[in-house]
């Protein structure tokens, strides 16, 4: 897998070098509005700003993008619809927020404990999106992802220590989608859906006892001010928000040189995202523990937790079978299992 990845990246670079670069005058003048659900300070948000700046630079200033940060153009659950209907040109919101519209595409963002690292999550998910079932679901919803992000492993950040499985009983845990609630319920905790704009207040007011996020997102959201305890291990990384555009606009309105530019820069942005997200985690962990009093708690029952949580991927497959998507779900589940094992083997 590692070798294949290097070859794929090398081929992409060579193809760019060997092809005549599109001149600035070949690009149409475009002024795009990009509705983002996160603040500009997150590591992935910085990558998104690089993406739009780079598109503008390579188009000779013809394609400009204005990013509307932190749900200023609409709440996270509204942003997919805004792109689908053409109210904005681009949006960034998590695919897992839309279990009804994106039951297949959103799976990897909703089913925890699938991926060991942000890189594994991003690589497997990028390949998965090329499969026919995924493309058909995206087309039905009139949305298209230029590129995805992936975040580091998720950990509970709590107002009080949670050292053993029994400490989770009755705890109100941040949740989303259909499958994270099943995880917490299986452990005796209470899932509470909390969206990005409500993170800090929900902890401060006790709406949740524990936030469930990667370390760097906790730090950027200042949640360490109200949640001083986290685990020494996590429950897996996930692929997350793509840059959504309108399917018809991308495939039928944008000329080929614009599609190619967006795709090429998006591919590079994903590579930047892997590195930037890892660096952000290391920086955040050091700052929180050395300067902000955050304590890393040894969670003693991880093996017991893993045995207690049901096979969430299997649960997803059964739910898809009930929706008439059984064949697609089984193929997707098999693909994910195979590709992640190949990825891990190549990394050894």
Element (H, E) at 203: helix 199-204
- Model confidence at 19: pLDDT above 60: no
Nearest to 195 by CA among 94, 91, 273, 68: 94
What domains lie within the chain, and their CATH numbers?
2-97+132-149+241-277 (3.40.190.170), 155-236+282-347 (3.40.190.170)
Confidence band, pLDDT 50/70/90 cuts, at residue 196: confident
Encode pLDDT of 106-145 as tens digits: 999 999 999 999 999 999 999 999 999 999 999 999 999 9
Q: Specify the pLDDT at position 348.
A: 87
Residue 280: how many CB atoms within 10 A of its CB? Answer: 22
For the chain, the C-alpha Rg in angstroms (whole number) is: 20
Confidence band, pLDDT 50/70/90 cuts, at residue 23: low
Encode pLDDT of 175-191 as tens digits: 988 899 999 999 999 99
pTM: 0.88
């Amino acid at each position: 897998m590692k070798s294949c990845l290097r070859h794929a990246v090398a081929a992409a670079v060579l193809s760019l070098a060997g092809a005549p670069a599109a001149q600035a005058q070949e690009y149409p003048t475009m002024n795009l509005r990009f509705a983002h659900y996160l603040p500009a300070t997150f590591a992935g948000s910085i990558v998104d700003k690089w993406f739009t700046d780079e598109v503008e630079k390579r188009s000779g200033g013809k394609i400009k993008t204005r990013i509307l940060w932190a749900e200023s153009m609409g709440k996270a659950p509204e942003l997919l619809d805004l792109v689908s209907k053409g109210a904005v040109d681009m949006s960034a919101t998590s695919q897992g927020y839309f279990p009804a519209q994106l039951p297949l595409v959103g799976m990897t963002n909703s089913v925890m404990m699938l991926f060991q690292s942000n890189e594994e999550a991003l690589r497997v998910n990028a390949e998965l999106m090329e499969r026919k079932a995924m493309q058909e679901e995206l087309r039905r919803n009139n949305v298209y992802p230029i590129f995805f992000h992936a975040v580091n492993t998720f950990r509970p950040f709590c107002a009080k220590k949670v050292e053993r499985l029994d400490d989770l009983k009755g705890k109100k845990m941040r949740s989303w989608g259909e499958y994270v609630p099943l995880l917490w319920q299986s452990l005796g905790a209470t899932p509470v859906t909390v969206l990005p704009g409500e993170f800090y207040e929900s902890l401060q007011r006790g709406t949740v006892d524990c936030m469930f996020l990667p370390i760097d997102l906790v730090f950027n959201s200042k949640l360490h001010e109200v949640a001083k305890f986290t685990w020494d291990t996590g429950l897996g990384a996930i692929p997350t928000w793509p840059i959504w555009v309108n399917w018809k606009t991308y495939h039928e309105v944008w000329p080929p040189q614009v599609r190619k530019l967006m795709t090429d820069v998006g591919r590079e942005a994903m590579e930047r995202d892997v590195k930037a997200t890892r660096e952000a985690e290391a920086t955040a962990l050091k700052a929180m523990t050395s300067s902000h009093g955050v304590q890393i708690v040894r969670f003693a029952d991880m093996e017991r937790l893993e045995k207690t949580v049901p096979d969430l991927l299997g649960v997803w497959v059964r739910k898809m079978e009930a929706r008439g998507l059984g064949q697609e779900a089984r193929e997707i589940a098999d693909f994910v299992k195979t590709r992640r094992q190949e990825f891990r083997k190549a990394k050894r």
